[in-house]
Amino acid sequence: MPIFNCEETINEFEKLTRDAGRVQQDTLKRILELNADAEYLNHFGLNGRTDVQSYKSCVPLCVHSDLEPYIQRIADGDGSPLLTRKPITSLSLSSGTTHGKPKFLPFNDELLENTLEINRISYAFRNREYPVGKGKALQFIYSSKQVVTKGGILATTATTNLYRRPRYKEGMQDIRSQCCSPDEVVFGPDFKQSLYCHLLCGLIYSDEVRQVFAPFAHSLVRAFQTFEEVWEDLCADIRDGALSDKVTVPSIRDAITKILKPNPELADSIQKKCMGLSNWYGVIPALWPNANYVYGIMTGSMEPYLKKLRHYAGYLPLISADYGASEGWVGANINPTLPPEQVTYAVLPQTGYFEFIPLENPKAEETENSASTHYIESDPVGLTEVKTGKIYEVVMTTFAVSTTVTWFRLGDVVEVVSFHNSTPELRFICRRSLVLSINIDKNTEKDLQLAVEEAGKLLEAEKLEIVDFTSSVEKSSDPGRYVIFWELSSESDAGEAVLQSCANCLDLAFVDGDYVGSRKIRTIGPLELRVLKKGTFKEILDHFLSL
Query: How many other C-beta atoms lie within 10 A of the C-beta of residue 53?
Result: 8
Domains and CATH numbers, the chain: 6-109+322-431 (no CATH), 131-316 (no CATH), 435-546 (3.30.300)
CA angle 342–541–545, rounded 5-degree value: 115
Q: State the Cα–Cα distance between residues 286 and 466, nearest whole angstrom.
A: 24
DSSP one-letter code for 96:
S
Q: State the Cα–Cα distance between residues 475 and 156, nearest whole angstrom.
A: 35
Task: Taking each helix axis as running N to C, give the angle between helix 109-129 and helix 6-18, from 0 to 180 degrees, rounded to the nearest 10.
Answer: 110
Rg (CA), the chain: 24
The pLDDT score that the predictor gives to residue 58 is: 84
Regions of the chain where pLDDT drops below 50: 1-2, 97-98, 364-372, 401-407
Strand partners for 466: 488
Enumerate the H helices of 388-465 as residue ranges. Answer: 445-456
- Residues counted in the chain: 547
Torsion sign across C-alpha atoms 92, 93, 95, 96: positive
Specify whether the CB–CB gap between 285 and 291 falls below 8 A: yes
CA angle 412–75–104, rounded 5-degree value: 20
Q: State the Cα–Cα distance between residues 514 and 283, nearest whole angstrom.
A: 44
Query: How many other C-beta atoms lie within 10 A of the C-beta of residue 147?
Result: 11
CA angle 204–206–210, rounded 5-degree value: 135
Enumerate the H helices of 335-378 as residue ranges. Answer: none
Q: For residue 183, which amino acid is it? A: D
Q: pLDDT of 101-160, one tens digit each?
A: 567 788 777 778 888 888 889 999 999 999 887 789 999 998 877 788 888 888 887 778
